[in-house]
Amino acid sequence: MRSDPRELAEGFSLVLRDLVLLLRQVTAEQPVSAQQLGILGSLEAGPRRVTELAREHGVRAPTMTAHVSRLEEAEAVSRGVDTDDARVVTVGLTSRGRDLLAAGRAARTAFLAERLEALGESERAALAAALPVLSRICAGG
């Protein structure tokens, strides 16, 4: 049985470690970290509140506050207020933020696409088939 859950979990666990190393390579030499890029991505469709961003990225509020502060420092986002609730801080992309997002995404995609081009067609098909499964694994809980 090749897909025994326990056995598969062990193999998956090893791959997970390698993926972390891969992610470090993807991120290295880029002006925007993976976390920051993710946050910028969340703002693409419009401003969001800090709490919302924190939940979406699986971190606590103070962590997101720090991220937003750094991004604000880099002039990639700007803080605003909510007219309905004065406690709320909204975070929106600046034009510089938009540029950084586009550049970061392009670099990341290019890096990965290069790796994927080195694979065979059937390997890419196997990966494509696994992506939704991986999503489900991550979501499930």
Partner DNA sequence: TTTGTTTAGTTAGCCTATCTAAGTTATAGT
Partner DNA sequence: ACTATAACTTAGATAGGCTAACTAAACAAA
* Residue 46 binding: pick among a copy of itself, DNA, none (C-beta 5-8 Å cut-off by kind): none
Classify 101 as helix, strand or coil: helix
- How many residues bind DNA (CB under 7 A)? The answer is 31
Distance from chain centroid for Cα 62: 19
Whole-number minimum distance, CB 87 to DNA, in Å?
A: 4
Closest among 49, 92, 98 to 72, alpha carbons compared: 92
Segment near a copy of itself (CB under 8 A); pick from 5-13, 45-53, 74-82, 92-100: 5-13
Classify 36 as helix, strand or coil: helix
Distance from chain centroid for Cα 72: 18
The dihedral sign for the CA sequence 35, 37, 41, 46: positive
Please select the residue that binds DNA; options are 8, 19, 61, 137, rule is CB under 7 A.
61
* Residue 51 binding: pick among a copy of itself, DNA, none (C-beta 5-8 Å cut-off by kind): DNA
| Binding region for a copy of itself (CB under 8 A) | 2-3, 5-6, 8-13, 15-26, 34, 38, 57-58, 105, 108-110, 112-113, 115-119, 121, 123-131, 133-141
